[in-house]
Structure 1
Amino acid sequence: MSKTLVVSGWLPWWVLGVCGSYLLPSSAILPWIYAFFILLVFTFFTRWQVFLFGCALCAGIIFALWRTDNLLQNQWPLTDKASVQNITLTVSDIPQYDQQRSRFVAQVKLPDGRQQQWLLTDYSKQQWPAGSRWQIKAKVRAIIGEANKVGFNREAWALANHISAQATVVKGKRKALPAVSGWKEKLTSWRIWCGGRWETQSQIYPQGVALIKALTVGEQSALPAEAWQVFRPLGLNHLVSISGLHVGMLAMLAAWLCSKCLQYLPFQISQPWILTRGAAVITAIVYSALAGFAVPTQRSMLMIIILALTWRRGYLRAFQIWWLTIALVLLFDPLAVLSVGFWLSFLLVAVLMWAGEGVNHTIKLFQLVQAQWTAGLASVVLVAFCFGSVPVMSPLVNALAIPWFTLVLVPIALLSMIIPLDFLRTFAAYLTEQTMQILYTIGEYAPEYYPAHAPLALWLRRCCLF
């Protein structure tokens, strides 16, 4: 057995088992336990790898069914109408405010002692500071019956984000309780403080500051609804947030800057790769913390950490690192399979790695163009299948927007947060404001195509053709 058999052998089958468990017509776990032990006996007596792979597949299915069943047991029960509950809640993330309502995610403690995570809406638009605790009345109902074959699937989104119920705050008095001072609340307060440093520039560059808050602290609610309507036909939704792409590119930039700085030291470092890899990992962790450790940033941060630990030794290849990262993400949270972002991020990374193979002896510019073009075509197919629409201009717009966002806007915005100089923040706000104006102009003429929702097999065939 080779040293990489775990990653290149049975681990992909375990991943396929976890992912495939959500396609099963039944959630019965006992037949798969029987199948696992039968295959395990065959593996012990025959030493055939095919039975080992079967064991890994069954183990993935068993693990996913067990974890999913535990979460479903904690979901709010389905009833005919919403029920009014007296609850104690702790606001766990930055609230989203608009003209009609405020919406936030909170950790809720029920009268019977159970704790759940709810999505709450307040139409009286009261302030709900992150980390604050309240006693309120809320009309709660289960998130059931809102599954869509095309477009946003609220039920799958709620399961993937461990949202047990959705509730509406009942108008009336609310009782404030002592705030929680845990590390999550301190992290959220730090993110709010970082976003608040742009208030001076927001009066002159409102669109630019809104984009900066989305790119630096993950406050997507700062962007108006009109902006999201422009981003959709341009295929830029993945860029207007702290995505895995931003984390990865910023980590690479930090590693490159660290390597350049080491060249000017008066003494020589025996193993400079340790410092460069460390700079990439620290940058990824800090930037992910700014996003509140959102799921996309967790995936990218994990991949960077694995890459830093294994790449120098040559222990794992690129696709083995890809499989290992997926396995660790699913081990931590198998319900990430229900998230569209999970598939978009990992499949696009796979496309980029596939496009980079076989061109190691070509010039760097050609590699970049080829990888960008391949990822652009693949993203069109993936977005069409997941959301039912095709942003026709997405490959061209992304080819220009991705380097501009990841190599210019995001580094300048973060640098202006680190260095307390007003002119630097003003310059960053000016750049992002001009970027938003250009996107608004292009978005007015960007066409959007709505194809028929074809079967999955046909979409996979089209992906293979690309």
Structure 2
Amino acid sequence: MDRWLCAALIGYALTFTFSKPMTIQQWLLLTTLVAVLSWRRFGIRRYTSVLGCILCGIAWGSGNAYLHQITLITGDNMGKTVPLMMTVTEISQTQPDFWRIQGTVKSIQNQRLSIPATVRLSWYEPPTQISPPQAGTTWQFQARLKAPQGVRNDGGFLYHRYLTGQKIHALGSIRSGSFVAGEPNYRQRVYNRLAAFEKNLSQFGILQALTLGERQALSAEQWQTYQRTGLAHLIAISGLHLTLVAAGVLWLSRKAMRYYARSRSRRETTNSWVWATCIALTVTFFYAGLAGFATATIRAFVMFSVVIIHKYFALHTPSSRVLLRAVAVVILAHPLAPLQSGFWLSVVAVATILLMNWRWPIIQGRWRGVRALWRLELTLTFAMWPLTAMWFGGLPILAPLTNLVVVPIVTFWVLPLSLLGLFSLVVNAETISLWLFRIAELPLSYAEPILSYLANSSWQWLPAHLTGPIISLVVLVLTWVWPWHWRYKISCIAVFCLGLVIRYQLHQYDTQVKFHILDVDQGSAIVIAQADEAVIVDTGANWELGGNMAERVILPFLQQHHLTPVYAFVSHTDNDHQGGVATIAARFPALRWFGSGHGLPCVAGQTGQWRRVAWQVLHPRRVTNNEHNDDSCVLKFMIGESSVLVPGDITKRAERSLLAHIAPVQADILVLAHHGSNSSSENYFLQAVSPYFAIASRGRNNAYGMVAEQVKQRLEALSIRLVDTARGGQITVTFDQQKWWIDQPWAGTNRAWFDADN
């Protein structure tokens, strides 16, 4: 059976390499091929079952991908405000000026959808006279829908993959809304009662995350502290928590059943193991329900159930096969789980533990429990190094030590008392509940200053860009955990370190110039790179509710490519161009700035040379703070015989001024002014620039209609090709010694179906 299961999982994995889901016709063709190959005359009937299982895996993976794509809301409903009826399924995330609401939509514009879609809506500055929508209730919204997309850049978080893994079919912003019907569900009611304790508990956010799986009460500082100390897995209901609850309930249940079966007649008629496992499964199921049946809890519950079933039927199966079967059941329950980081973290963690139990001797002697736990934490940290470097941007060096200390505290103190406090709250014993929660948070409060110090210490955080390519890390980890002689492990580490040194030296002598137009939604950010240095032009937007594109995109991009910026230009003072200035200036204090009141003014006539790149300012012709669109700093970059024109947000008036003063605007590549607005890019200006390519830096779901249809028509009439960050993400122009070319590394046309441009 396991051979067939492996074949099915291989077929399922293949579907994640498809550029688009298989059609019914393709699937029937493949089925016919398998049937023909199974004919006796071909002599491969013994392999027919394996081929059939591979086909079943392909059908399952491709079928779920096809189902997700046809559920996406498209067409006339996108990009405009429409009425929709939503049943709220998740607890709304609320801030003073922002609500995020998620639920299922069955009708749009009074038209019923054939398949209900999951939609995530944002309500900015909601009215104060209504309460946030409660999970379980139905609301009527006027909302502007948009495609479930996010920015796509090297080193950044791929939001569109996260949305696909969560089966979210559309995003949107609410204009107005009203309650229709329904009552809050049980989880929402428990959440509301627990929220009353927020002012009485200093660690309320962590306790709420442990009991209900809701992390919205966590501050940004708390989340960063736990992430940078390797403890982030403790503040979300995951396999660890579910396993602890199950183990505790099993132990208590068996003790209770043994007490119940003290008489001989009861012992003969009562199977304590069966009753204990049934109780444990029931309790863990309700615990997963309190967490909203999140993917992590479903995954953990399924794995626990598979283990219990093997125990119940006395199936003497190797642990590796139990893991294989558990993974298969998880994929059946949640087909898109591999698109979520938690799935791989769980699988790698369990596989590492199994490998340790299989090959490594049991620790004996004094302090064997502590030594075994230390070995486990050290091995898990090392095994997950590639994944944490890829998804979290670095590795906390002290993670084994912090886990060795904090995990037992959470396991035997915080989690049990928190669950008892939640149970007391459910049975209306609020006083006892608050008392238990206060006792539960004590060790967390004492540990918080130490954890904050470690999180803010740069010496204990190893950034991803210093650890080498992810593939090299995977090879290094595999060679270290593989059971062979230590001299081979030392040799592999030496080769790995030597490779990093050689790679670093080659990077220093790289002569290629790369012009990266980053995808920062509705805004502008450009990074010009050669070797390990860079020039930045504009910094994207920031948001009133916190965060900016510099944190989300530019800094991760610079880290990914090992770049240190030496110059930075800010074209003008609009938020979508200068929003990340403070963040970048704080990170690189030696950076030299030009324009918009930052550093030197940006005025026509300025020139400079940086490595192979010569730059020239063409506009404005007088010193200003670049406060208006027509005062934007217009830059021309020359790389050998090639050139790029970056005109900021100038309008037709400034374009005419440039031509009137005979500015050298001709360029091979033009970054469209004002993100492609019809207020710019007049026909005669495009003729004067005469570019081969025009690049639009704009948001996929922008409300301004950019790129304007008139601009597209003018570009087409002049045979100028348009490349768009909203369709495919980051754009990279590479200038070699003799030629240049344009590439979009994250474009959906070059990648798997889940990276498609919706």
| TM-score relative to the length of structure 2 | 0.55
Task: Name which of 458, 463, 484 aligns with 1:450.
Answer: 463
Greater mean deviation of Cα atoms: 41-50 or 426-435: 41-50
Structure 2: which 5+ residue stretches go unaligned? 482-758
- Residue number in structure 2 paired with 1:341: 342
Contact 1:210 1:222 in 2 (8 A): yes
Q: For the Cα contact (< 8 Å) 2:211–2:422, is it kept in 1?
A: no
Shift of 1:34: 3.8
Q: Secondary structure at the match of 2:73?
A: coil
Aligned equivalent of 1:9: 3
User: Are residues 143 and 198 of structure 1, via their aligned partners in 2, closer, same or farther at CA, if it must alter by over 3 Å?
Assistant: closer
User: How many angstroms apart in 1 are the aligned matches of 2:394 and 2:274?
Assistant: 44
The worse-fitting range, judged by mean Cα deviation, of 418-427 and 210-219 is: 418-427
Contact map agreement 1:95 1:130 (CA 8 A) in 2: yes
Q: Report the secondary structure of 1:113's partner residue.
A: strand
Question: Which moved further from structure 2: 327-336 or 51-60?
Answer: 51-60
Q: Residue 35 of structure 1: CA displacement?
A: 4.4
Match of 1:311, as an amino acid? K
Shift of 1:439: 3.0
Please state if 1:308 is matched with 2:313.
no
Give the number of the structure whose residues are more often helix, by fraction.
1
Partner of 2:450: 441
Q: Which residue is equivalent to 2:477?
A: 463
Deviations 1:348-381 (A, max 9, x none): 1111222222468655725544333322222233
Report the counterpart of residue 178 of structure 1 in structure 2: 181
- Range moving further from structure 2, 283-292 or 450-459: 450-459
Q: Is the 8 A contact 1:385 1:459 kept in 2?
A: no
**Counterpart in 2 of 1:291?**
291
Specify whether residues 47 and 440 from structure 1 end up closer, same or farther in structure 2 by C-alpha distance, changes over 3 A only: farther
Contact 1:381 1:462 in 2 (8 A): no
Give the alignment partner of residue 203 of structure 1, picking from 194, 199, 205. Answer: 199
- Contact kept in structure 1, 2:61 and 2:335, CA below 8 Å: yes
Aligned mates of 2:353, 2:451 — CA distance in 1? 27
* DSSP 3-state at the match of 2:233: coil
Counterparts of 1:456 and 1:397, CA distance in 2: 24
Correspondence 1:400 to 2:405: yes
1:325 Cα offset (Å): 1.8
| Letter of the 1:176 counterpart | F
Supply the distance in 1 between the matched residues of 2:411 and 2:154 (Cα, whole angstroms). Answer: 33
Distance 1:376 1:36 in 2: 44
Shift in Å at residue 38 of structure 1? 3.2
Q: Which has the higher contact order (CA 8 A, sep 6+)?
A: 1
Matches within 5 A, 1:223-234: 223-234=218-229
CA distance in 1, matches of 2:272, 2:139: 51
Structure 1 residues 149 and 356: alpha-carbon distance in aligned structure 2, compared to 1, 3 A threshold: farther
Q: How far does residue 199 in structure 1 lie from its aligned partner after superposition?
A: 5.0
Against the structure 1 CA distance between its residues 445 and 308, is the aligned structure 2 distance closer, same or farther, given a 3 Å change threshold? closer
User: How much has 1:233 moved relative to structure 2?
Assistant: 0.6
Matched residue type, 1:129: Q
Partner of 1:64: 61
2:381 paired with 1:376 = yes
Match of 1:245 among 199, 223, 240: 240
Letter in 1 for 2:187: R
Task: Give 1:385's aligned residue.
Answer: 390
- What is the distance in 1 between the residues matched to 2:76 and 2:342? 30
CA distance in 2 between counterparts of 1:387 and 1:49 reads 46
1:73: which partner in 2?
70
Maintained 8 Å contact 2:78/2:144? no
Q: Distance in 1 between matches of 2:320 and 2:355?
A: 9
Range that drifts further, 271-280 or 64-73:
271-280
C-alpha distance in 2 between matches for 1:316 and 1:301:
19
Counterpart residue type for residue 104 of structure 2: Q
Contact 1:250 1:407 in 2 (8 A): no
Q: Is the 8 A contact 2:21 2:65 kept in 1?
A: no
| Counterpart contact for 2:141–2:174, Cα < 8 Å | yes
Please say if residues 376 and 398 of structure 1, whose CA atoms lie closer than 8 Å, have aligned partners that are also in contact: no
Aligned amino acid, residue 53 of structure 1: V
Q: Deviations over 1:302-332 (max 9, x none)?
A: 1111211112412533222211121122123
Q: 2:275 and 2:361 mapped to 1: Cα distance?
A: 25
CA distance in 2, matches of 1:314, 1:141: 50
Question: For the Cα contact (< 8 Å) 1:214–1:220, is it kept in 2?
Answer: yes
- Greater CA drift, 66-75 or 49-58: 49-58
Whether the 8 Å CA contact 1:356–1:371 is kept in 2: the answer is no
Change (3 A) 1:95 1:421: closer
* Residue 279 to residue 372, structure 1, CA distance change in 2 (3 Å): farther
**Given that residues 8 and 54 in structure 2 are in contact (C-alpha distance below 8 angstroms), is that contact kept between their aligned partners in structure 1?**
yes
Contact 1:227 1:440 in 2 (8 A): no
> Is the 8 Å Cα contact of residues 15 and 60 (structure 1) preserved in structure 2?
yes
- Give the aligned residue type for 2:355: W
Which digits, 9 at most, give the CA deviation of each residue in 1:24-79, with x for residues without a partner? 34544555654454345445644666554343233312321121012111113389
Give the corresponding residue for 1:3: none
Counterparts of 1:421 and 1:42, CA distance in 2: 68
Letter in 2 for 1:110: I
CA distance in 2, matches of 1:445, 1:119: 36
1:94 match: secondary structure: coil
**Quick check: 123-132 or 360-369, which moved more?**
360-369
Query: Given the alignment, which residue of 431, 446, 451 partners 1:422?
Result: 431
Give per-residue Cα distances to partners, 1:189-237, cap 9 Å, x unaligned: x2233334445643232x3222111111112112122211212211222
**1:209–1:433 CA contact under 8 A, matched in 2:** no
* Distance change >3 Å, CA 53–CA 458, structure 1 → 2: farther
Q: Deviations over 1:60-111 (max 9, x none)?
A: 1232112101211111338998311111122111111124411121222212
State the partner residue of 2:352.
351
Could you say if the C-alpha distance between residues 40 and 150 of structure 1 is closer, same or farther in structure 2, counting changes exceeding 3 Å? farther
Q: 1:37 to 1:360 in 2, by over 3 A?
A: farther
**Amino acid of the structure 2 residue aligned with 1:161:** Q
Give the number of the structure whose alpha-carbon radius of gyration is greater.
Answer: 2
In structure 1, runs of 5+ residues without a counterpart are 1-5
Query: Residue 21 of structure 1: which of 6, 15, 18 is its match?
Result: 15
Matched, 1:217 2:217: no
Structure 2 counterpart of 1:18, which letter? Y
Contact 2:385 2:473 in 1 (8 A): no
Q: Is structure 2 residue 325 aligned with structure 1 residue 324?
A: yes
Q: Quick one: distance in 2 between partners of 1:36 and 1:164?
A: 30
2:203 aligned partner, one-letter code: G
Match of 1:92 among 82, 85, 89: 89
Query: What is the rounded CA distance, in whole Å, between the counterparts of 2:444 and 2:144 in structure 1?
Result: 42
CA distance in 1, matches of 2:445, 2:79: 41
Cα distance between partner residues in 1 of 2:468 and 2:153: 15
Kindly state the Cα deviation for residue 150 of structure 1 after the two structures are TM-superposed.
3.6
Q: How far apart are the structure 2 equivalents of 1:148 and 1:278?
A: 48
Q: Deviations over 1:412-439 (max 9, x none)?
A: 1111222336245324234325404523
For residue 292 of structure 1, report the CA deviation from its aligned partner.
1.1
Greater Cα offset, 329-338 or 362-371: 362-371
Query: Which letter maps to 2:199?
Result: Q
Cα RMSD over matched residues?
Answer: 2.8
